[in-house]
Structure 1
Amino acid sequence: MHDPDNETHEVDPAATTLSAVVPLSMAGSRLDVIAAGLFPEFSRSKLSEWIKSGRLTLDGATARPRDTLTGGEVLALDAQLDTQTHALPQDIPLDIVYEDADIFVVNKPAGLVVHPGAGNPDGTLVNALLFRDPELAKLPRAGIVHRLDKDTSGVMVVARTMPALNKLTEMLAERDVHRQYLAVVLGALVSGGTADQPIDRHPRDRLRMTVREDGRHAVTHYRLRERFRNHTLLECRLETGRTHQIRVHMQYARHPIVGDPLYGGALRLPKGATDELIEQLRGFKRQALHAEVLSFAHPVHGGEIRCEAPVPADMKALIDALRDDEQQFQERESRR
C-alpha cells in the first residue's frame, strides 16, 4: 500500500527531473514551504521562481507558491539549471588536491584572483574551473562557496552540484568547516590568543576593512608555530570568515602580516639581520598568509575530508631565512 509519509523524491539523473509525493504530515502547509522541505538541495527562492514559471507543477498543473496542500499530491520539478556564471572558460593550470563528483578542493597559488571583476575580467580561478568542468556554469559563482584573497595561497573547496553548494554554504554559516592558516607576522609573540573584534568596511578607504564597533562579528584564534627574533610564524584558525579577517585582526593586535600591502605598514628590518633575511623581507611583496588545512564533512556522504597544501616556495624561503637569522643570532649571543 502506498504511504505518502514515507515518500522520498525520485531522481532521473539524465533528465534532472525530480518528483515527490507530499506526505500527510505536511498537510496544511504552503506549496513553497513543502517544496523547500522535499527538495532541500535547492534554495527556497529558486523553488518559488520555478513554481511561478511552471517548472515545478502540482498534480501536473501549475500552482501558486502560497497554495495550501492537503497531502498526497504529486510535485514534479524540472530542475534544469540555467547558466548562472557567464565567465569564459580558460585553460589555466590548477592544482587539484581532491576531487569527486560533488566537490573540488583546489590549492590556489598566490597571485590568482578568485572571481572575475573590475580590473580582472578573466584569468581567474573561475575561468580555470569552468575549463575543467563546464557544468559549473550552471551554479552560482561557479560553485565557489568561500574565497581567498588574490595574494593568499592555499586550499579552498568548490562545489560541483547544487546539493553540495547548498550544504557547504550551510556548513560554513554554522562554522562546521575547519580552516587553518599559516601567517608570518611582525614581532616575537610570547603566546597565542584569540582576536574577537567586529570587522566591517573602512569608512574612508573602500579597499580596506577595519575593526569597528558596529561591524560584523569576527573571531580568529592563533597560536605559535615558531618564534624568531623579531617575527613569529602563527597558526591561525578562523571561527568566522570575514573579508581580510586574519589580516585585519593581526594589524589590530599590532602584529601585522609580513608583506601585507594594505595592512602591513612600512618595512621594518631587524637590527643585525642576515643579508638573506634582508633580501627576503624586501622582496616579499604579498601578505605571508597561506591556507594550510581545510577539513569538513563531505556535503553528500558525510565522510571526513581533510586536505593540506604545502607551504609555497616564496613563503618557505622567507621562513628559512628567519630561521637561519635566529640561529646566527643565538650563536653570536652564545659567544659573548
Structure 2
Amino acid sequence: MTRSALGFAHGRAIVARAEVQGIEVVTLPGDRLSLGLPDDPRRAYSEAKSTLAVVVAPPSKRRLQPIAPSADWRVDLAEGCPAHCSYCYLAGSLKGPPITRVYANLDEILDGLPAYLGQGSITSRSEARAHEGTTFEASCYTDPLGLEAITGSLSAAIAWFGRWEAAAQLRFTTKFADVGPLLGLDHQKRTRMRASINPTMFARFEGGTAPVAARLTALADMARAGYPIGLTIAPIIAADGWREAYDALLADAAGALTGIADLDLTVELITHRFTPGSKAVLESWYPGSALDMGADNRTTKRTKFGTEKQVYDAPTMRSLRLFFEERIGTLLPAARILYWT
C-alpha cells in the first residue's frame, strides 16, 4: 500500500479484504514503489509478478484513451496481471517490473466517465454496434476478475454502471472463472463479460489461469444471471492442428451455452502478433517456451504509431478468418462477430 492509497475508502477496503484472507500487507512510507527487487532478472520477474501494489491513479491515467476495435474508451481499474501467459501482449507495453498496480481512487475514475458519454468512435457512432451505447473497456491492461478476490474493484464498477441510467456499457474479458461475487449484482445488463479462450493444445501458454472449461462454465453462469456475454478467442495461433483444435473449442463453447434463454453473445477474433520489443521481453520471462515467434507465415505490419509488429501473412489470415466465420456460423449461430484482427 502506498501512503496516498490509504486516503481513499476503496484503498482501505482492499487492505481489509487482504487482511481477512491472511495476505501480508506492507504500508510504504510514501508513494514510491521502492520494493528492493533482486538483481537477478528471473527472481525479480517472479517477485514482481507476485506483488500487488495499491496506488493512486494520477489525472493523466484518468484521461481515457480510445481502444479500437473493442470499445470506445479504455478505463483502467488496474495495470498488470498475475497470470503467466507466454504470449502476453502487455509485455513491452508496461514499463518496469511487472508489478500489478490497483487503483485506490476508483470513485474518482468512475465519476469521470460521464464526460465521455457519446464521444467515442467504435460503438457510439457505429450503426452496427450503436445499441451498445458508449463502451468502456476495463481489461486492456489487466484481468480484473483475476484480482477481484482482493480488490472488489470489478464488482464496484459493475454496480456503478448498473446505477448509471445512460446508454453505456462496461466490458471486461478474463481468463479466470470466479464469478460468484458478480452473479447477484444489479448490473442492469450494462456489463458484458467475455471469456478469453484457447484450445487445450495452446492452454499451456496460459500459466496461472483458470482451465478453459471453468471459464466457459463461468460465462454460462453470467449469462443465466442476465449479463450480456462474449467469447474472446485470442490469440489465435496457426500451429499444426489448429483447425481441429479450434473446432473442438467452438463445440465446447456451444455446449456450455446450450439452452440459455435470451442469450446475448458476441465473438471477438484476435490473431497472434508480437513486436520486437514484446518478443524480447517474453523470451526473457519465459525462456524455452514452445510458442512459435519465428518468421514463418509472418509479415511485418506498421502500426498507426509508427512501430512494427509481426502478424500472420495474407494467405494464413485468409484461411483462419474463413474457418472461424464458417464454424461460428454453424456452431454458434446466435453469436455476433464484432471484429477480426
Task: Name the structure with the higher strand share.
Answer: 1
Q: TM-score, normalised by structure 1?
A: 0.23
Q: TM-score, normalised by structure 2?
A: 0.23
